[in-house]
Amino acid sequence: MIDLDFSLAVDQIYEAALAPARWPMALQAVANCFRDTGALLVWRRENGRYGSVVSPALAEAQSEYDALWQHLDVRSARGFEHGYLSDREGVTDLDLFSVEELETLPIYTQFFARHGVYWCAAVFLSPEQDVQAVLSVQRDKARAPYAGEEVHKVSLLARHVERSLKLSIRLFDAENCNLGMREVLSRLGIGVFALDNDLRVIFANPASRTGFEVLSGAGEAVGLTAPVRRKIARALARSERADSREPVNVVVERGLNRPPLTLYVLPVTEGAAATHDMLAQARAIVLMIDSSGDAAPDPALVRDILGLTLGEARVAALVGSGLAPKAAAEKLGIAESTARTVLKRVFAKAGVSRQSELVALFGKRSLR
């Protein structure tokens, strides 16, 4: 059963999708689910650019971290490697260190404790193909470390954060800060459209036109076919259910051995609708992800279709697209031995025994 704090956090996460300035309060709402100090969100692109946002209670600590501790963060370094080797989504301090080891690490004894945090639960995200992100919830040393159901709860919240960030990370661009929402969405390179309460299209950006050949049977946003409307309605109903708030993707097949369109349905809350005139009549914003082309598929899509962890899906996405394990490891910034260990788990879960079979599976499942 989902509690009220969880449901409120999910609402604020989706409000932040359309208003990035709301992310600090959304992260505080995440921390409030556990009665904890705060939460942070960090992302890094393949080109080395990175960004972060923290809840208000962690703002001072984040400033000191950026100035003095970033290159001494053994937890982050070890957690990154563990994220690939683990067969679970969540990572905690006790997955990385013994209790005795923690008492010897300066970042714990001199930095975390001084700022009222110590224990964390972190979950890795894939908001874009070339972006790695992590959601981390932080708590005081006086409380017990994260475990079991709490880690699972962070993982559920992280799925909502990942979906919200697929749009929000594109709106962080400073060039868009003085533009209206309609203009911002019109400039995005991915398809975005808005639906009203009857699931009628009330806005569609130029990048969505090709996708509407499938969604509406025409080259422009004239409406959705009945099967697509039903899928979106089910996804919205499940994401809005008070007892689950389950994020659900909508996959629309295109045939002819072409990868499907993946639709990420983001409910529009009353708070979000009040911030932008164009959202006043909107019930949902839908992101349309087209994985056609030569690039490796989105790891989040691979994760959801094949039932992998995100670490496994990152390796599988590259190797299943034809990249050698050594080259995949180099691209991901992990040891080749780590990549091969992860690949063995991928083979076992996918029911294949070699790379060529994984490549063939990707073709069969329309992931390529």
Residues 294-306: tens digit of each pLDDT: 567 889 889 988 9
d(CA 33, CA 11): 13
Q: Which of residues 171, 196, 214 is at a domain's end? A: 171
Domain shared by 9 and 100, yes or no: yes
Domain containing 258 — which CATH number?
3.30.450.20
Q: What is the SS3 string spanning 317-357?
A: HHHCCCCCHHHHHHHHCCCHHHHHHHHHHHHHHHCCCCHHH
Domain containing 155 — which CATH number?
3.30.450.80
- Tell which residue, 57, 15, 17, has the closest CA to residue 35: 57
Domain shared by 20 and 47, yes or no: yes
How many of the other CB atoms lie within 10 Å of CB of 251? Answer: 14
d(CA 264, CA 93): 32
- Tell which residue, 47, 24, 45, 28, has the closest CA to residue 37: 28
Strands (E), the chain: 38-45, 50-54, 90-92, 119-128, 131-139, 191-195, 201-204, 249-252, 261-267, 284-290
Please say whether the dihedral angle defined by the alpha carbons of residues 308, 309, 315 and 321, taken in this order, is positive or negative. positive
Domain shared by 41 and 126, yes or no: yes
- DSSP strand pairing (261-267 vs 284-290): antiparallel
Domain shared by 137 and 32, yes or no: yes
pTM over 0.75: yes
Structure tokens, 64 = 């000191």
In this prediction, residue 24 carries a pLDDT of 97
In this prediction, residue 293 carries a pLDDT of 60
- Low-confidence residues in the chain, pLDDT < 70: 1-2, 173-179, 219-221, 242, 256-257, 291-295, 366, 368
Domain shared by 145 and 34, yes or no: yes
Domain shared by 20 and 93, yes or no: yes
Q: Please list the residues that pair with 91 across neighbouring strands.
A: 122
Structure tokens, 200 = 């009628």
How many of the other CB atoms lie within 10 Å of CB of 18? Answer: 26
Domain shared by 31 and 154, yes or no: yes
Domain shared by 209 and 165, yes or no: no
Domain shared by 194 and 157, yes or no: no
Task: Give the up-direction half-sphere exposure of residue 333: CA atoms within 13 A in the CB hemisphere.
Answer: 14
Domain shared by 161 and 37, yes or no: yes
Domain shared by 8 and 134, yes or no: yes
- Tell which residue, 310, 315, 360, has the closest CA to residue 337: 315
In this prediction, residue 317 carries a pLDDT of 92
d(CA 41, CA 291): 26
In this prediction, residue 177 carries a pLDDT of 55
In this prediction, residue 130 carries a pLDDT of 82
pLDDT (tens digit per residue) in 131-146: 889 999 999 999 999 9
For 106-126, give one letter per residue: b (16+ CB within 10 A) or e.
ebbeebbeebbbbbbbbbbbb
In this prediction, residue 1 carries a pLDDT of 55
Domain shared by 32 and 136, yes or no: yes
In this prediction, residue 277 carries a pLDDT of 77
Give the 3-state secondary structure of residue 56. Answer: helix
DSSP code of 211? T
Round to the nearest angstrom and report the end-to-end CA distance of the chain. 38
Residue 187 to residues 19, 30, 190, 220: CA-CA distances in angstroms?
16, 30, 9, 17
Number of domains in the chain: 3
DSSP letters spanning 154-167: HHHHHHHHHHHHHH
Helix axes 355-364, 336-350, angle to 10 degrees: 50
In this prediction, residue 174 carries a pLDDT of 44
d(CA 136, CA 364): 36
* Range of the structural domain that residue 27 is part of: 4-171
CA 147 to chain centre: 21
Q: Which of residues 137, 171, 205 is at a domain's end? A: 171
Q: Please list the residues that pair with 38 across neighbouring strands.
A: 138
Q: Which of residues 124, 147, 171 is at a domain's end? A: 171
Domain containing 341 — which CATH number?
1.10.10.10
Structure tokens, 60 = 């001072």
